[in-house]
Amino acid sequence: MSTPALQETTSKPLDSAWVRAQFPSLKLQVNGQAAAFLDGPAGTQVPRQVMDAVQNYFLTGNANTCGAFATSRANDATIAAARGAMADFFHCDKDEVVFGQNMTTITFALARAIGRELKAGDEIVVTTLDHDANVAPWRALEEKGVVIRQVDIRDADCTLDLDDLMRKITSKTKLVAVGYASNAVGTINPVAEITKLAHNAGAMMFIDAVHYAPHGAIDVRALDCDFLVCSPYKFFGPHMGTLYGKRERLLQFKPYKVRPAPDALPDRWETGTQVQELIAGIGAAVDYLAELGRRQDASAKDRRSALLAAYRATRQHEAALLGRMIEGLLGIPKLRFFGISDPKRFHERCSTISIRIGDHNPTEIGKFLGERGIFTWDGNYYALNLSERLGVEQQGGFLRIGLVHYNTAEEADRLVAALREFARR
Ligand SMILES: Cc1ncc(COP(=O)(O)O)c(C=O)c1O
């Protein structure tokens, strides 16, 4: 099975100075040291454009939707613009974009709606590599007699065991739920190929792209998936979730909704009043990425092309940081590295790293780094199946280091030096 559809063409070097100037919070100091935000997988920082858009909502468009007066119309226009931005982001039509509180809430709601149509004995395939938000909502359908089949990993490199996947997709499979990239070890899954396998078996494909979205361009048309979810707070936007659904699928399933709410797309899936100020911020986050793309490639005319140019540049930047960091980490005594470390295979992973050092509890390491202004994450980050499968759940899980495009080589070196110091103690 081939590896993921990434844009591997080269870009001119990322304009890091411009990027960092867009993110005011990157100037934060901790104990007299510059903060190094290596906590992106739990939520990225936001550019000034996003903050301005949220503020502008309150200044000029703070009203509920569809009223016959100026602020309500302004809000309608902002939401429509944000939906258009997300349609370019996903590469779909506007009415196929659904906003929601976060990926977890959206997925539970979708699973409940899909579950209405399933019967005992129907099967859903989930994986050991996934965040629990792409496992628990489907497991909840076990109450109805739906059978959940879980695909294993190859623990040597933390990739999905594709032979196991092929065995588990059968004529009884109704849906395959797979992550685009692991939020723990960074593995990128061959989701286009898995979508074909699912469709050949007559099943739907649901992709959790929450972790992939800050690292690579998403193209739901090319993937041909039925559903794809991601959360703007992981790609430089505010704390919300978004869903792409193929139009026929969004029409096929019946969400639980209040009677007076519209039944048209996409409204039928957006229950209650949305966090409208944050939807304004989502549009601005996508436009920030497009602005970055135009700076990287002046020939990128429309927003979609600009987004592709942005990701070409950020991916190249992140791969360079990743190589530098992995090389440094592998030289640290007693460091256990999880996942793909060979630079020749970087197209199969993104720049999120999980490690352990000896028997140290990862919280202890995270604290040590935090006191030095370096922000990382410790625990299982809700990738519970994986931390159990790798036998680290009872020992505090992993330490996660997340690199995104606003991180620098200097920050990567600082992290490695601090971990070396920790390991020497
Ligand atoms: C891969 C992945 N999927 C799903 C989620 C859940 O997203 P949300 O916080 O939007 O519910 C996360 C959050 O960390 C994640 O990393």
User: Residue 133: CB within 6 Å of ligand 1?
Assistant: yes
Using a 6 Å cutoff on CB, does residue 183 contact ligand 1?
yes
Mean pLDDT in consecutive groups of 10 residues from the start of the chain, 425 residues:
53 96 98 97 98 98 98 98 98 98 98 98 98 98 98 97 98 98 98 98 98 98 98 98 98 96 96 97 98 97 97 98 98 97 98 98 98 98 98 98 98 98 95
- 160 C-beta closer than 6 A to ligand 1: no
Give the number of the atom of ligand 1 that is nearest the alpha carbon of residue 208: 3
Instruction: Give Cβ neighbours of residue 32 (< 8 Å, ≥ 6 apart).
Output: none
Which atom of ligand 1 is least distant from the CA of 182? 1
Q: How remote is the CA of residue 208 from the centroid of ligand 1, in Å?
A: 8
Atom number in ligand 1 closest to CA 181: 1
This prediction has a pTM of: 0.97
Q: Which is the closest atom of ligand 1 to the Cα of 240?
A: 10
User: How far is ligand 1, taken at its centre, from the CA of residue 101, in Å?
Assistant: 12
Annotate the chain with three-state secondary structure. CCCCCCCCCCCCCCCHHHHHHHCHHHHCEECCEECEECEHHHCCCCCHHHHHHHHHHHHHCCCCCCCCCHHHHHHHHHHHHHHHHHHHHHCCCHHHEEEECCHHHHHHHHHHHHHCCCCCCCEEEEECCCCHHHCHHHHHHHHHCCEEEEECEECCCCEECHHHHHHHCCCCEEEEEEECECCCCCEECCHHHHHHHHHHCCCEEEEECCCCCCCCCCCHHHHCCCEEEECHHHCCCCCCEEEEECHHHHHHCCCCCCCCCCCCCCHHHCCCCCCHHHHHHHHHHHHHHHHHHHHHCCCCCCHHHHHHHHHHHHHHHHHHHHHHHHHHHHCCCCEEEECCCCHHHHHHECCEEEEEECCCCHHHHHHHHHHCCEECEEECCCCHHHHHHCCCHHHCCEEEEECCCCCCHHHHHHHHHHHHHHHHC
Give the pLDDT of residue 424.
94
Q: Sheet containing 352-357: give its strands across.
A: 335-338, 352-357, 398-402, 377-379
Q: Which of 231, 242, 275, 354 to mutate to test the pocket of ligand 1 (most atoms within 8 A of CB)?
A: 231
Q: What pLDDT was estimated at residue 10?
A: 80
Please tell me the predicted confidence (pLDDT) of residue 6. 46
What pLDDT shows up at residue 194? Answer: 98
Mutate to test the pocket of ligand 1, among 207, 234, 378 (most ligand atoms within 8 A of CB): 234
| Ligand 1 within 6 A of CB of 187 | no
Asked if residue 131 has its Cβ within 6 Å of ligand 1, the reply is yes
Q: Is 385 in the pocket of ligand 1 (CB under 6 A)?
A: no
CA of 263 to the centre of ligand 1 (A): 28
pLDDT at 8: 53
Give the mutation target among 105, 108, 210 for probing the ligand 1 site: most ligand atoms within 8 A of CB.
210
CB of 102 closer than 6 angstroms to any ligand 1 atom:
yes
Cα of 41 vs centre of ligand 1, distance in Å, is: 9
Among the atoms of ligand 1, which is closest to the Cα of residue 102?
10
How far, in Å, is the centroid of ligand 1 from the Cα of 381?
9
- Report whether residue 104 contacts ligand 1, using a CB cutoff of 6 Å: yes
> Which ligand 1 atom is the nearest neighbour of the CA of 43?
14
**Ligand 1 close to Cβ of residue 165 (< 6 A):** no
HSE-CB for 14 with a 13 A CA cutoff: 24
Tell me the best of 101, 131, 240 to mutate to test the pocket of ligand 1, counting ligand atoms within 8 Å of each CB and taking the most: 131
pLDDT for position 1: 57
Atom of ligand 1 nearest to the CA of 104: 11
Q: With a 6 A CB cut-off, is 101 part of the ligand 1 pocket? A: no
Task: Tell me if 39 CB under 6 Å of ligand 1.
Answer: no
Q: Which of 44, 183, 191 to mutate to test the pocket of ligand 1 (most atoms within 8 A of CB)?
A: 183
Q: In this predicted structure, what is the pLDDT of residue 9?
A: 65
